[in-house]
A and B are shown apart, each in its own frame.
Chain A
């Protein structure tokens, strides 16, 4: 079975631009969560979605938004990019709404803001 798939794997954006990151969960998993991992630090929770509804939001500005589609895939959008948004963005899927039990992470999208 395919694991959690994220695209793109790398991208470079300019300050002020917008970016969309994509995630396909493991087949049968209905919950998707997004984490930001700055170099040298642990991942930080951004959002969790279950059955297309937001179930949790971390301490991130409104420039960050996400959504989940009927096929359970998800997008993370970041507007007005700042240099500090440079990080590895991780998507994790799980079977049910208790997102943190049985998380499987993807390999992430490395975002560089210049």
Chain B
């Protein structure tokens, strides 16, 4: 119940294309769903986050879509650029606890 399942494991997208990464969860007590971007040799950096009371949040080229009934959420990267090539992690947290549960990560490669 504490797992967050992420897919795909890896993704290759052409420059200018849309990158889509999906996550699913079971614990209905989760109330915070962030996405992190990690470059080699660096720690994860918060990209965008959403709470379950909204279905979509957009920040620049990054959009989170959230489906509460299906217990799924996804990250869309519009107009993908080579500089977006990194590992992306979805995560979830419950307000009563003090920990993030991370997905297994998606290695994104944007080809020029």
Chain A residues close to B by CB (< 8 Å): 4, 33, 35, 40-45, 48, 50, 55-56, 58, 90, 92, 97-108
Which of A40, A99, A102, A106 is in CB contact (< 8 Å) with B99? A99
Provide the residues of chain B in CB contact with A33, threshold 8 Å: 98-99
The answer to whether B32 and A42 touch across the interface, beta carbons within 8 angstroms, is no
Provide the residues of chain A in CB contact with B97, threshold 8 Å: 56, 100
Chain B residues close to A by CB (< 8 Å): 6, 32, 34, 36, 41-46, 89, 91, 93, 95, 97-105
The answer to whether A100 and B98 touch across the interface, beta carbons within 8 angstroms, is yes
The answer to whether A98 and B98 touch across the interface, beta carbons within 8 angstroms, is yes
What 12 additional pairs, Cβ within 8 angstroms, besides A42-B102, A50-B98, A105-B45? A33-B99, A40-B104, A41-B104, A42-B104, A43-B100, A44-B102, A45-B99, A48-B99, A56-B98, A92-B43, A97-B98, A99-B98
